[in-house]
Amino acid sequence: MTSFKSTSDLQIKRANASSITLGLEGTGDETEARFWAQRFRLGANSISGLKIAYQKKKYGYPRSVLFQGPSSNNAIVQQVVFGPPAFGGSPPLAVVSGPRVGLYNTSGTSPLGRALRNNDKEDALEVSCDRQIGTGGHPALCAGYRADGRLLAVGTDAGHVRVADATSRATLTTFECKSKLPIRTLQWLRNGKQVVAAGDDGMIRLWNLDSLEKKAATRTWTGHGDSVRCLAVWQPRGGSSDQSKQEIVLSGSYDHTIRVWNLLAEKEEEHHACLGMMNHGAPVEVLLLMPKSSSTTTAEGESMIPWLLSAGGTEIKVWNFLTGQCHATIETRHSKTITAMTCFRKVIQDQIDWRILTAGLDGLIRIHTWSPEKGILKHIHGLRTREPITSLAFDDSYLRLIVGTTAGTVLFKQQDGFSKELANKKRIASEQSSTAIFMRGQDVQAQVDDILVAESKRRKLREFDKALRQFRYGDALDESLNSRHPHAVLAVLEELGRRDRGLDIALSNRDEETLEPLLKYLVRYIALPKYTSVLIGVTYRLCDMYSGIIGQSELLDELFGRLKGCLRQEIIVQKKLLRISGMIDAIIVVQQRGK
């Protein structure tokens, strides 16, 4: 045997994608790589020759679209945020970029949904937002949905916090800072009446929607020496311990510190409301609260206190914010500043595993395992994107991922659920029970024909049928209106009326775009005897819900006026019919007496 080695063996191998993502120490997890490629189409073509095959029999194909933000000059996407899903439907999406906030509907019938369904290219598309919220010409820097999704708060570069209706786009109130410096971050409190905001002046302010004085904040806390870039709110529910009675605001600043503020401190003690201060060692960009495992049992209810994760520079630190103790310091694989951090709940065979995702100006998304019991992160996978990332978010169901970049583009990724094979099996099992719902309102012969057709050949479930079965009442009504079959719309309205608050849920929280087809349907069919009994009740509820928006939209004013004219004309016709009926009754009575 000889110890001779060739020159090629002595040379250091060139780094490839595998050394970046899978070849690093402790990160060779190909199972994790396949999971993100199959579910969200992330990294499928950049894993060192590892070709990801989609499991057609189990999962559907994930969908992805890259589109330009709402700003016309490709301004930086400052923040992307999902709102709560409306009535079990698709969650709304707000994109903060330039002097406006674009609101997108993520359902399949919206412009974003159509682009997602028909997109086959990797180039950025022009996807129009459903509506926009203006900021008076000032750049928007942050936004946040209230817990019910009805209101959206927007922080601007001029030191304003605008609270707008998320459906009608109307600005309800505007809070102003005396310093006129930019507002960088804001959070809603649980009561839905108060907003906490902070920015470049280093002060944390609390505004109340019920307050008559909009220029002066209800509460103010001072302590940071530089811009505050992130906030987190902890309001524990229930319990009898002292911790459960506290309300805490956490603020991260460019002065390298994280401060803990007591919301329940008296107004006279605002300067002493700081409960503690922690030094991250770098400008703090992101704060994230993660709950501890329920199995953690300590004295005085300490298990209720969540972990606090702070990201600054290229490090993540895990804190117990009430004691100020740093539990762990994790040096991530990022080469530039971390700008976004979020969590993902991974469920496999009824077992929940948490993942912490970080993104930065290096264009990388790093995925870490998270142990709630130990409070420890471990890097297991990495993904590269085209542009530096500024914001990252999942929706509440963890089915949609949104990424904002410095180039003004937004990357939207969505799981497509189960494949058609499983959907067909479920449809065949429940076809007969669901078909009967939509037979109402049709002629007898049409019902017989439909039954014969269903027996000879099973029909595919319609979209409003699927939405009803999933309790997405608003989407069910929208899909029936899009079908342009008046009998189907009538059947859906009848079914919603039979369900507890189903009709109220389907009719509420609508804007000009979604109210227009419904009002046109009412104007056209309310006078037909077959439809009148149902549509009159729907009209009453619409008037009760939307009487306050009269005068805000010319289109809706015109449609409500036409509907009022139809009802007035119908009342006149009914009065004439009653008179004729009375005359006929009188003639019949006289004729019978004459005999």
Model confidence over 94-108: pLDDT tens digits? 999 989 899 998 887
**Buried/exposed code over 277-311 (b: 16+ C-beta within 10 A; e: otherwise):** ebebebbbbbbbbbebeeeeeeeeeebbbbbbbbb
Model confidence over 95-147: pLDDT tens digits? 999 898 999 988 877 888 888 877 756 667 888 888 899 888 899 999 999 98
Ramachandran region, residue 284 (left: φ > 0; alpha: ψ -120 to 50; beta: rest): beta
Q: Where are the alpha helices (DSSP H) in 364-485?
A: 420-435, 444-456, 463-469, 473-483
Q: Which of 185-199, 229-243, 408-422, 427-441 has the lowest mean pLDDT?
A: 427-441
Model confidence over 251-292: pLDDT tens digits? 999 999 999 998 887 765 666 688 899 999 999 999 999 988
Mean pLDDT of 400-408: 93
Instruction: Name the pLDDT band for 548 (thresholds 50, 70, 90).
Output: confident
| Dihedrals phi, psi of 330, to nearest 5 degrees | -120, 120
What are residue 289's DSSP bridge partners?
Answer: 308
For residue 123, the 8-state DSSP code is S
Residue type, 254: Y
Instruction: Name the pLDDT band for 538 (thresholds 50, 70, 90).
Output: confident
Instruction: Name the pLDDT band for 74 (thresholds 50, 70, 90).
Output: confident
| Cβ–Cβ < 8 Å for 161, 207 | yes
What are residue 284's DSSP bridge partners?
Answer: 312
Residue 151's alpha-carbon distances to 78, 82, 94, 232, 305, in angstroms, are: 19, 13, 12, 19, 29
> How much of the chain is in helix, strand and coil states, percent to nearest 5?
30, 30, 35
Q: What is the pLDDT of residue 270?
A: 64
**Buried/exposed code over 505-543 (b: 16+ C-beta within 10 A; e: otherwise):** bbbbbbbbebbbbbbebbbebbeeeebeebbeebbeebe
Which structure tokens are listed for 296?
């953690």
The pLDDT mean for the chain works out to 79
Kindly list the domain boundaries of the chain, sorted by start residue: 15-61, 224-263+279-384, 461-586
Q: What is the pLDDT of residue 155?
A: 95
Residue type, 544: D
Instruction: Name the pLDDT band for 8 (thresholds 50, 70, 90).
Output: very low
SS3 465: helix
Better pLDDT: 444 or 291: 291
- Number of Cβ atoms within 10 Å of the Cβ of 342: 17
Q: What is the pLDDT of residue 196?
A: 96
Cα dihedral 350→356→361→364 (10° resolution): -50
Residue 395's alpha-carbon distances to 182, 381, 421, in angstroms, are: 27, 21, 26
- Number of Cβ atoms within 10 Å of the Cβ of 50: 17
Task: Please report the sign of the dihedral spanned by the C-alpha atoms of residue 468, residue 471, residue 472, residue 474.
Answer: positive
pTM, full prediction: 0.66
- Number of Cβ atoms within 10 Å of the Cβ of 33: 26
Say which residues have a Cβ less than 8 Å from residue 561's Cβ, sequence separation at least 6.
none
Residue 118's alpha-carbon distances to 65, 113, 125, 466, 470, in angstroms, are: 9, 9, 11, 21, 24
Say which residues have a Cβ less than 8 Å from residue 201's Cβ, sequence separation at least 6.
177, 179, 181, 227
Q: What is the pLDDT of residue 420?
A: 45
Distance CA 449, CA 516 (A): 33
Q: State the DSSP string of 269-280.
A: GGGG-EEEEEE-
- Range among 64-73, 82-91, 540-549 with highest mean pLDDT value: 64-73
SS3 108: coil
Class in CATH terms, 224-263+279-384: mainly beta
Q: What is the pLDDT of residue 245?
A: 58
Instruction: Name the pLDDT band for 299 (thresholds 50, 70, 90).
Output: very low
Model confidence over 407-428: pLDDT tens digits? 999 999 988 654 444 445 444 4
Better pLDDT: 321 or 472: 321
- Range among 19-28, 457-466, 481-490 with highest mean pLDDT value: 481-490
Can you say how many angstroms the Cα of residue 321 is from the centroid of all Cα atoms in its chain?
28
